[in-house]
């Protein structure tokens, strides 16, 4: 199978909204009048962002999901994406599964593939997503204010728990392992929640490198600090069955969660609950924004917990 | 050096036109009212798109140049780009040179870096570029009509000749080697020519996989054929000093040329010359579009030349 046959077989589909899709030098997008275009790129490398054991269908899902998660954190509506793919060889079984998982998630969010590139090389997946948002409505990292409440969607830490199973530091089997594996391999981008939080949240970020690290980006960009109750961090029953130190590591510094972390003024609390209900995603209040810089952690009894939870760093980890 | 320090040191610059640049979950582009957005992604892998010996500054240039070349082929005006970069390690000397070459070309074309991703992994560079074009003005592969004349910009084949030197099949030294090495490592995207050809050319493509193969894309998408005079293909003095068979291989199937191949009605010949003069880029008429399908090659004496010049294919080469 050659390069152009590969594209035609697995990746060329008619576009509905874009003015021109796959097959020319450029794709052509026709932005709706007055809309801003939200753009994000994420690159996935084997061994860093996924394990060699992952099913191709789940990898196709995840590659797009981590990009859609950036649109969600911005409150943008997905429109289109490009896919650049380096493959060791044109493997039909891989491509069939990968494209199936990719397009299932793309279709679920009305996000169409408009272009890209394929080349021979070490497996590498680079997706750039495009979404639309009204000027002034994008959720940014810079809008948190002292007194705001801090929230996170879904549960945290299961993806990291799955990684620890692969590393051999934790034993899990059966349904418990399937559940955390699914969290790691098939994250659900919180698009509906991001859209519902426009005009409600004062700041937002998606949790990809671990809650403590990603929160620090909000704090730095907003010029504020925060206090978190580490016992309030939402976690699955599977994670709750693990030792407390592991629970804290996974929820605070896990990475690969793809939940939304956001702040909102206390007066918006009812609107936050309504947005969560509308999106069908649980949201938990986990702390508050302070005027005093840096992040303070405490437990349910109010005792200080030391913050040794660094963000994942691709060049330090 | 960590991931965030790396981005802040080498890749974070203020944006002038975008509504939001590097540093949040998404960049925000504010398209001019009524404009279409031209989008293209290209991924560069060591050993496929560049050699390990390339100077980082030239690599930074080339990574953006091959993407800008797609905008040129579309007649789009460059606006912005994202950069996703996998690096084996955070090497300051590499990053300093790479970013310098990248931004020198970006600044020359008013194209600003708005976002991206960095990760640890085998060296891989994925850029997505954005340009703007008025609806209906984009140059497409599908517009060639029987009777149109075929043109190509600049000269062809020097990049391939340089590759043959590295492969040891050709000996070159001194200025001759420097010239073909520069063609391979520092292609100049024909942005000004692409803009000048809007409303003049009937179809266009950039020559990245070899003239014969890239022309076949125009022929297929336009439902036409073509006749080329292989002795008219523009080539450098260095290439002209090589055996005729090698000249033909390099010009017809070289790859990495990043010149514009385009068609225009005979009535547009004066406008083509004016566009070339305005852009300051030589343009050569090399053949014509036929109603009869497929590509016919002949030499200056009108003798048929067999077309054994396949396009470069990443999964066959």
Per-residue pLDDT tens digits for B276-294: 999 999 999 999 999 999 9
Of the candidates B85, B86, B206, which has its C-beta nearest A25's C-beta? Answer: B206
Answer whether A40 sits within 8 Å of B23, measured CB to CB.
no
Cβ distance of A3 and B314 shorter than 8 Å: yes
Q: Which residue of A has its CA nearest to B70?
A: A25
Which of A1, A6, A41, A313 is best to mutate for the B interface (most B CBs within 10 A)?
A41
Taking residues A201-210, what's their average pLDDT? 96
CA distances (Å), origin B155, targets A285, A286, B210? 64, 63, 12
Q: Using an 8 Å CB-CB cutoff, list chain B residues near A314.
A: 3, 118-120
pLDDT in tens, A215-252: 999 999 999 999 999 999 999 999 999 999 999 999 99
More confident residue, B18 or B132: B132
Q: Which of A1, A21, A24 to mutate to test the interface with B (most CBs of B within 10 A)?
A: A24
A239 CB contacts (<8 Å, ≥6 apart)? A155, A157, A158, A161, A180, A247, A250, A251
* Contact residues on chain B for A80, CB-CB shorter than 8 A: 39
Q: Which residue of A has its CA nearest to B126?
A: A126
Q: What pLDDT does B14 receive?
A: 87
Q: Do B86 and A43 touch (CB under 8 A)?
A: yes
Q: Scanning every residue of chain A, which has its alpha carbon at the shortest distance from the alpha carbon of B20?
A: A38
Cα A84 from Cα A63, distance rounded (Å): 11
When CB atoms are compared, the residue of B26, B33, B47 closest to A38 is: B26
- Give this prediction's pTM: 0.93
Which chain B residues have a beta carbon less than 8 Å from that of A114?
39
The number of residues making up chain A comes to: 317
Percent of chain B with pLDDT over 70: 97
pLDDT of residue B102: 97
The two counts, helices (H) then strands (E), for chain A are 10, 12
* Beta-sheet strand order (sheet of A112-120): A112-120, A77-87, A124-133, A36-45, B27-29
The angle that helices B92-108 and B56-74 make with each other, rounded to 10 degrees, is 30
**Nearest residue of chain B to residue A82 (CA atoms):** B41
For B140, the closest chain A residue by CA position comes to A24
In a mutational test of the B interface, the residue from A15, A20, A25, A52 whose CB has the highest number of chain B CBs within 10 Å is A25
- Name which of B166, B24, B311 is nearest A2 in CA terms: B311
Quote the pLDDT of residue B23. Answer: 84
Tell me, what's the pLDDT at B313? 62
Q: How confident is the model at residue B9 (pLDDT cuts 50, 70, 90)?
A: confident
CB contact under 8 A, A86 and B33: no
- With contact defined as beta carbons under 8 Å apart, do A116 and A85 qualify? yes
> What is the reported pLDDT for B16?
87
Name every chain A residue with its beta carbon within 8 A of the beta carbon of B70: 25-26
Mean pLDDT of chain B: 93
Mean pLDDT of B101-108: 97
CB-CB neighbors (< 8 A) of A46 in chain B: 121
A-B Cβ pairs (cutoff 8 Å, strict): 237
Interface test with A, best of B1, B39, B111, B195 (most A CBs within 10 A): B39
The minimum CA-CA distance between A174 and chain B, rounded to whole Å, is 32
Confidence grade of residue B24 (pLDDT, cut at 50, 70, 90): confident
- DSSP for A32-88, written as a single string: PTTPEEEEEEEEEEBTTTB-TTS-HHHHHHHHHHHHHHHHHHHTPEEEEEEEEEEES
**Cα nearest neighbour of B123 on chain A:** A122
More confident residue, A233 or B173: A233
- Cα–Cα dist B270/B212, whole Å: 26
- Rounded average pLDDT over A118-126: 93
Query: Which secondary structure element, helix H or strand E, spans residue B194, and what is its range?
Result: helix B191-196
Instruction: Match 């690290």 to its residue by tokens.
Output: A213
Q: pLDDT band at B50, cuts 50/70/90? A: confident
pLDDT band at A48 (very low <50, low <70, confident <90, very high): confident
Answer yes or no: is pLDDT of B156 > 80. yes
């Amino acid at each position: 199978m050659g390069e152009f046959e590969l594209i035609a077989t697995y990746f060329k589909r008619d576009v509905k909204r874009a003015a021109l899709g796959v097959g020319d030098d450029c794709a052509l997008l026709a932005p709706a009048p007055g809309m801003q275009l939200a753009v994000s790129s994420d690159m996935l490398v084997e061994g860093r962002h996924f394990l060699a054991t992952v099913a191709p269908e789940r990898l196709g899902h995840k590659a797009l999901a981590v990009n859609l998660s950036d649109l969600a954190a911005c409150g943008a509506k997905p429109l289109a994406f490009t896919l650049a793919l380096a493959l060791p060889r044109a493997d039909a079984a891989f491509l069939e599964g990968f494209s199936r998982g990719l397009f299932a998630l793309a279709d679920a969010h009305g996000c169409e593939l408009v272009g890209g590139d394929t080349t021979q090389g070490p497996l590498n997946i680079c997706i750039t997503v495009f979404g639309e948002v009204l000027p002034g409505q994008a959720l940014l990292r810079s809008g948190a204010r002292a007194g705001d409440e801090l929230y996170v969607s879904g549960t945290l830490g299961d993806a990291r728990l799955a990684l620890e199973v692969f590393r051999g530091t934790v034993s899990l089997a059966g349904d418990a392992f399937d559940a955390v594996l699914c969290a790691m391999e098939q994250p659900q981008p919180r698009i509906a929640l991001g859209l519902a939080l426009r005009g409600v949240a004062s700041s937002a970020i998606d949790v990809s490198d671990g809650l403590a690290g990603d929160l620090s980006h909000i704090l730095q960009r907003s010029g504020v600090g925060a206090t978190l109750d580490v016992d309030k961090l939402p976690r699955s029953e599977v994670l709750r069955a693990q030792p407390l130190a592991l629970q804290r590591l996974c929820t605070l510094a896990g990475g690969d969660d793809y939940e939304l972390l956001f702040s909102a003024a206390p007066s918006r609390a009812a609107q936050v609950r309504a947005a969560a209900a509308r999106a069908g995603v649980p949201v938990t209040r986990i702390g508050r924004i302070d005027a005093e810089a840096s992040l303070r952690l405490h437990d349910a009894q109010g005792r200080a917990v030391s913050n040794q939870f660094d963000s994942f760093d691709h060049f330090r980890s």
